[in-house]
Amino acid sequence: MKCDRCDQPSVVHEVRIHEGVRTELHLCAACAQAAGFDVPAAAEPVIQMIKKVAISAAAAGTRSEKACPTCGATLADIRKAGLLGCPDCYEAFVEHLEATIERAHGGRTAHCGKCPRRRGLSIDRERRLKQITRELEEAVAAEQYERAARLRDELRGLNTP
C-alpha cells in the first residue's frame, strides 16, 4: 500500500471505527513519525519477517528430528501418512503418541474393544488374573490376610485348567 500523504510505501496501517463509520489510515515512516506514531527505525516488510521465521523453524525441525531406529520414520513422516512405520515406532515416539492415542480413544490407553472369538476367553482370563494378582498384593500390603487367602485360592482355581 502507498502512503495517504505521499507515494512512499506505507508502514503504519490504522483502522478506526467511530459510530459505525470505518476509516483507514496508511502512512509511510516519515509521515507516521510526523503524525506522532512510534515507528521502529528499521521497519522490515512482513513477508521478509515471515520468511525468516519459517526458515528458522524448518532448520530447527530438521536438526532435531527424531527418527525410529528400525525403520527410520520421523514424526513428520508419521503425521503426514497418518500411520506408524513399524511396531518399534510406538516406543520411539511414545511421548508424542501417548496423548494422541489417549485423546482418540476417550482417555483409554489399554485395549478395551472387541477381540477374536477364539482369543476372547483367554484375554478375559488374563485380565481377571491380573486383577486378582493386583488385589492380592494390595491385601498383603494392607495385612488383610483372610482376604489375601481367599484371593490366593481364587487365583489357584483360575490357573488350573
Q: What is the pLDDT of residues 116-152, one digit of tens each?
A: 666 656 777 888 889 999 999 999 999 999 999 999 9
Q: Are residues 94 and 51 in the same domain?
A: yes
The mean-pLDDT minimum among 49-63, 93-107, 132-146 falls in: 49-63
Model pTM score: 0.31
CA distance 100 to 82: 12
pLDDT digits (tens, 9 = 90+) for 2-28: 888 898 888 888 888 888 888 888 888
Cα–Cα–Cα angle for 23, 38, 22, rounded to 5 degrees: 10
pLDDT digits (tens, 9 = 90+) for 67-87: 888 888 888 888 788 788 888
Q: Are residues 98 and 125 in the same domain?
A: no
Cell readout for 64 is: 532435531
Q: How many domains does the chain have?
A: 2
Q: Are residues 98 and 121 in the same domain?
A: no
Instruction: Specify burial of residue 50 (Cβ count, 10 A radius: 0-12, 13-18, 19+).
Output: exposed
CA distance 9 to 29: 8
DSSP state of 22: E
Whether 11 is in a domain gets the answer no
Whether 42 is in a domain gets the answer no
Q: Are residues 61 and 92 in the same domain?
A: yes
Whether 3 is in a domain gets the answer no
Please say if the pLDDT value at position 115 is more than 70: no
Whether 66 is in a domain gets the answer yes
Instruction: Please report the DSSP string for 70-95 in residue order.
Output: TT--BHHHHHHHSS-SSTTHHHHTHH
Please say if the pLDDT value at position 111 is more than 50: yes
57 close to 65: Cβ distance less than 8 angstroms: no
76 close to 65: Cβ distance less than 8 angstroms: yes
Whether 124 is in a domain gets the answer yes
94 close to 71: Cβ distance less than 8 angstroms: no
Report which of 5, 26, 28, 7 is spatially closest to residue 15, judged by C-alpha positions.
Answer: 26
Q: Are residues 78 and 127 in the same domain?
A: no
CA distance 19 to 109: 55
Q: Are residues 82 and 121 in the same domain?
A: no
Domain of 146 in residue numbering reads as 117-159
Q: Are residues 100 and 121 in the same domain?
A: no
Residue 137: its pLDDT value, please?
93
How many helices (H) and strands (E) would you count in the chain?
7, 2
Q: Are residues 99 and 121 in the same domain?
A: no
Whether 89 is in a domain gets the answer yes
